[in-house]
Every structure is written in C-alpha cells, then in structure tokens.
Chains A and B, each alone.
Chain A
C-alpha cells in the first residue's frame, strides 16, 4: 500500500491512524504459540497484526570465556529473511538485522534475565551457551517488539537436552523437564514519535515517516534494562520520560498477553 506520508503525519496530529487504531494501541490479533519446532530446545511463533516472527533456542556445551570462567553465555541473532518482505535480500545481515539482534540481546543480557552462573557445569571447562535465532516470516512493521516477545516466549519454553553422563555428549533428540534459569522477564516496547505524537506498534508505512523512536526494555517490576534511540531527529528529556512511561505500561500489557497464552 502506498500512502501519502503527509496523510500519516496529519492523522497523527488529530490522534488518528490509517487503520483506525488509537495512537497507543497494538494491532490485533496478538498470538503467541510455543514449541513450534521440535528440533529447537525452545521455540515460539509470535504474530502481532500481520507481522509474524519465529524464535528458536539452541543450547550447547562450550568452554566458558576466560574472563568469566564460572558463567555460560547467550547470543542473539536475527535474520530479516527475503521470505518476509520484498525489501530484504539474501546475504549477510544488514544494519537493520544487526540492530534488531543487538537491541533484543541487550534487553535480555543487561537485565541478567538468565542466571549465567547457573549455566556453568564445570568452572573453566564447560558451561551451557544459549543461542537464540530470530527469523522473520512476514514483516508488517514493529519487528523490535514482536521479536522481543518471540525471544522471551522461546526462552520460557526452552528445556535442557539430555546429556550422557559418561561421554558428556548431548542427545538433542531427548529433552529433560529442566527449564532455563530465568530470573526476570524483560520485554522491549518501542515508542515512535510521528509529527510530535507518541505512537505504538507502527505499520511499515508508519515506520517510514517517524522522526525518532525509543526502544525501552523493562522487566515485570518496571526496571529498565536496555534502551535504543533511533531516527534522525532529537527527543527532549520530557518526551523521553513520557516514552518510558508508555513503554512500561505497554510492556505490562504484552506480559499479560504472553502469560495468558502460555498457560
């Protein structure tokens, strides 16, 4: 759909949007489905409106890093597949995919959402490493929030695989009932500024006209664990304060949806 960019801006100043939503309203449906891949230790498919993202968790036993010999590790990787939009091409990840994976990574890592010490099996020798892959299926906007939701759902659904006590080899075909040591559940919410107004959950068209955006990852207590400002224009401290309030409110809403659907 080609929309006059001024139309989006004009509507925003009247507190309106092209699809009829309120400025701070998520699209419907919000669907969370876990265990969508038997080969992953944890996995989820999340849909918000027409945006669909899958996330999968793989666990492996590696030698810990030298500076943290008693800790495991995490890595988050995102692929903006050419399957999900005509805008994306095959090949190594571009800057958009890199930003998505790094912002999602910081939200989890800096909140210390996974107890890294509990991932250690043998100090200096062996620890669990958690690798999360985010794969887009249909990009209809707001990948930050949808990817964050998919990542958390996949982490919550993950179960350790069986390890042979003699050889130490992992049997990826068998899972234990042991979940990951999750201590917090951070979720990113991105607030966009369009024509001076704060907007949540933009479509692809709306993503083309914003002045600035702020992604804020918060846990269930409202503690902020990561932020990322994007866009070509500036934000005032007052605006940032309002954006954080909105992000915390919406993170609570998303967490509610997640808990409801994972029961």
Chain B
C-alpha cells in the first residue's frame, strides 16, 4: 500500500518541483475539510454532539455532573472533568483495532481534558464528575481535534458552565507550505512535514491544546499558529450553528 501511494506522490512531487503548491485534495491552503455538526444526538446523555471533518466522524456524550466514585477521588472544592477517547474497532484505515484502551487513547483523553478545562467552571459541583465519552466510527486524520470540537458542543449542550468556546483543528507545514487541517495523505507526505493539533478559545485566542510532530522552524511555527486563529474560527462557526439550530426559539416552533 505504501509503495503504491508513494508512486502517486513522487509524480506530483516532480511536477511541483519540490514545493507543495497544490494540496493533494485540491483544497486552498487555509481551507478546511467539509464539516458537519449536530447537537443533542444521543437522547440518554445530558449533552451530546456529532462532528464530522472530511472522512473523520466523532460522537460525543456528556454525562454529569454526577457523583464521583470511588469517593477518595472526589474534590470538595470543585467537580472533575474526565474524557474517554475511543476509536471503534472498525474505524482505523488498516486492520481492526482491538477494543479496550490503548496508550494512545489514554494520552488523547488526557490532552482533551486539558484542552477543555480552561473554559469550564466546575466550582459549583463539588464531589462530582462530568464524563465526556468519545466514539469514532471512521477516521482519516485529526481525530483528537474532531473529538475536542465535538466535546465542546456536547458540554455546552449539557449546560456545563463555560467561559468561552473551544474549537480545535490541526495546522502544519507540508514541504514548506503552511496549511490548515491536514489530511492523512498530507500527514504522511514524503517531505518535511509538521502536524500541529491546536485548540483555541474563541474570544481570547488562547491556545489550550498544542502538540506537534514532524519538523518545523520557529518562524514557520509562529506563522502556523497564527493561521490556527482563522482556522479555528471556521470550526467555531460550525459549532455555533449546531448549538443554535438546537436551541434557537425559531426552531422550537
């Protein structure tokens, strides 16, 4: 499989003379994959959301605030936020993924919590927990960003106090070109590539998730993070549209 893909890349690579001037899926450099979002998709949950970016889809359910067990984990000053990221066993682009948690899933769950916590106020819910469950039926790239964007919608849907909205998307650099929302083909492009998942607050443009792999210069990194501002704005618009279509008075009629 790798060999076959490489053939295709090499061809376009030669035509482009070592620069990444045209994206593999012909998007503009700042253009995100087609997005969809919906709030309130899981009736049992206190809040829930569906979010799609290209061929990556995420379902998120929020349960809580509810009493936290075991009791020794309770914080009498504030509630706890717990994220649980999981890919469905058939959601990987290769072989079946064994169910159950992996090291990767545990790390993503942790960075999700840290990406969302800065805007969430759980001081009114001592000894309780807010659980955020993620399930991905199909994945291409950017699953943690899709999960965080969906989780933010679901938390708002659940009525959890939030100071700001969190929107997440990856930015990066492919063979010298700064691009937004990398696809799997771009993440594994045979040149210098960097993939930088970012989550940002809407009003204050603070960064709450920052990871990177690949190679990038400091100058390009600053440029990429600057590009993340407008990229996350586009995610924000989709998130707010989903929430408004559930809660606006006109739609209740």
Contacts and interface: CB of A to CB of B under 8 A. Distances in A.
Contacts of A81: 86, 133, 135
Interface in A33-82: 36-41, 43, 45, 50, 52, 54, 56-58, 60, 77, 79, 81-82
Interface of A: 36-41, 43, 45, 50, 52, 54, 56-58, 60, 77, 79, 81-86, 90, 92, 131, 133, 135, 137-140, 169, 171-173
B25 interface: no
Contacts of A171: 1, 4
Contact of B89 (A58, A137, A139, A169): A58
B61 A84 contact: yes
Contacts, number: 100
26 contacts: A36-B137, A36-B138, A37-B88, A37-B137, A38-B55, A39-B90, A43-B137, A54-B137, A58-B89, A58-B95, A83-B42, A85-B44, A86-B44, A86-B66, A92-B100, A131-B89, A133-B88, A135-B88, A137-B135, A138-B42, A138-B44, A138-B45, A140-B44, A171-B1, A171-B4, A172-B1
The size class of the interface chain B forms with chain A is 20 to 34
B167 to A, nearest CB: 22
B155 to A, nearest CB: 14
| Nearest 9 CB-CB pairings of A with B | A56-B90, A40-B90, A83-B133, A58-B96, A37-B138, A133-B89, A83-B61, A37-B137, A50-B43
Nearest to A78: B99
Given A83-B59, A86-B44, 16 more contacts: A37-B90, A39-B90, A40-B90, A50-B43, A81-B86, A82-B133, A83-B42, A83-B45, A83-B61, A133-B88, A137-B135, A138-B42, A138-B45, A139-B44, A140-B43, A173-B93
